[in-house]
Amino acid sequence: MLVYLDNSATTRQYDRVTDEMKKVMDDFYGNPSSLHTLGLDAEKKIRGARKTIADSLGASEDEIIFTSCGTESDNTALYGIAHSKRREGNKIITSAVEHPAVLETCRSLEKEGFLVEYIGVDRECRLDTEALKNAIDDNTIMVSIMSVNNETGTIMPLQEISKLTENIVFHTDAVQGYGKVDLTNCGADMISLSAHKIHGPKGMGVLYVKKGIKLPPYILGGGQEKGYRSGTENVPGIVGFGTAARLAFDNFDERIKAMKNAREYLLAGIKDQIKDVLINSPADGAASVLNVSFLGTRGEVLLHTLEQDKIYVSTGSACSSNKKSRSQSHVLTAMGLNFKEIEGAIRFSFSEFNTIEEMDYVLDKLKTAVERFRRLGSFR
């Protein structure tokens, strides 16, 4: 049995997405800017995908910019607003638990002279909204807070934040929230999405930019994407993203239910069968993530032990951990966990394809791995 529980790192592409993308590569290879039929047909395909994604956000089609990934969307939102609003103020507020796509961009903006405030979280990764409220001042031009944390699944209070940011641009990195929580009335002015977290292709992103928000063009050239991001469109990728979004939203409730069932079953089993664990995800977190510290073990060793039984998990966030110089999770650190608690942490992340039978298999192997580690100190 192969059990894939690393869906927050990336997901297996839907077969339908692969089929649609292949069809586009084979038959709709025209340049969407060309005036002949092949070009128009390719453009029509893009329009279809744009509408699906716009509908899923409760947005209009001209508010959707296709990008190459969630990271590009985050970079674009932060650099774009910072640079265009520099004269109005130089303060940006974000959280201490953002993905590096936001945090590293903020650090780079600090080097340019912007002032960045990083709002803290509690033990369950909930944002300190009081601190956010107090941090907003006349100098603040932008607030960027993620919709769902990638390591714990904690859902951030976007609507509440949007009420605090009525005169400030509010960006949310919804890479982990899209297809997991409802974003239609979240109140954000800009939203970053990524296709590969919802069974779409890797290397495809979206930046939603609310009408009225001024974003400078950031890739200059032929004027594609309303002039914001030039370059011939990745038509198969865009169609793949649109197809994945359609499938994810057509089956939204069933998908969430399947993830929730697997998550709850695994959580109950862990609590019941394994001693000395710390549950790092809140009970009301997204159905897609469960973060647990197995005290007295090392998550990385557990990960490789489980891998021998074809169970794939993560120790934190795969995208954020530079494999060569792995450092301790900044998210769990911000939550106040100590070194040992962080060291023993494993992230299980779910898709609708996970089953109860798989969870029984995981529980069995996990229990053995944890007990063996604790008995021997290490497997090495």
229 - beta bridge partners?
Answer: 219
Cα separation values, 227 from 47, 139, 159, 215, 235, Å: 16, 29, 30, 10, 17
178 - beta bridge partners?
Answer: 181
Question: Which residue's C-beta sits nearest to ligand PLP?
Answer: 70
C-alpha closest to that of 148 among 289, 328, 349, 311: 289
292 - beta bridge partners?
Answer: 279, 346
Catalytic residue among 69, 106, 125, 319: 319
Residue 6's identity, in one-letter code, is: D
Q: Which is nearer to ligand PLP, 50 or 347 (CB)?
A: 347
Angle at the Cα of 175 from the Cα atoms of 251 and 118, rounded to 5 degrees: 145
Q: Which is nearer to ligand PLP, 32 or 177 (CB)?
A: 177
Cβ 9 to ligand PLP shortest distance, Å: 6
Q: Which is nearer to ligand PLP, 146 or 191 (CB)?
A: 146
- Return the range that interacts with ligand PLP (CB under 6 A); candidates 35-43, 66-74, 132-140, 239-247: 66-74
Structure tokens belonging to residue 213: 């928000």
Cβ 312 to ligand PLP shortest distance, Å: 15
**Which one of residues 258, 319, 345, 363 is an interface residue with ligand PLP (CB under 6 A)?**
319
d(CA 269, CA 2): 19
Cβ 99 to ligand PLP shortest distance, Å: 3
Q: Which is nearer to ligand PLP, 173 or 358 (CB)?
A: 173
**Could you say whether residue 175 binds ligand PLP (CB under 6 A)?**
yes
Site for ligand PLP in 139-158 (CB under 6 A): 146, 150
Cβ 377 to ligand PLP shortest distance, Å: 32
Site for ligand PLP in 195-254 (CB under 6 A): 205
Residue bearing tokens 């290397």: 203
Total residues at interface with ligand PLP (CB under 6 A): 14
User: Is 319 designated active site?
Assistant: yes
Cβ 367 to ligand PLP shortest distance, Å: 29
Which residues have a catalytic role annotated? 319
Residues near ligand PLP (CB under 6 A) are 69-71, 74, 99, 101, 146, 150, 173, 175-176, 194, 205, 319
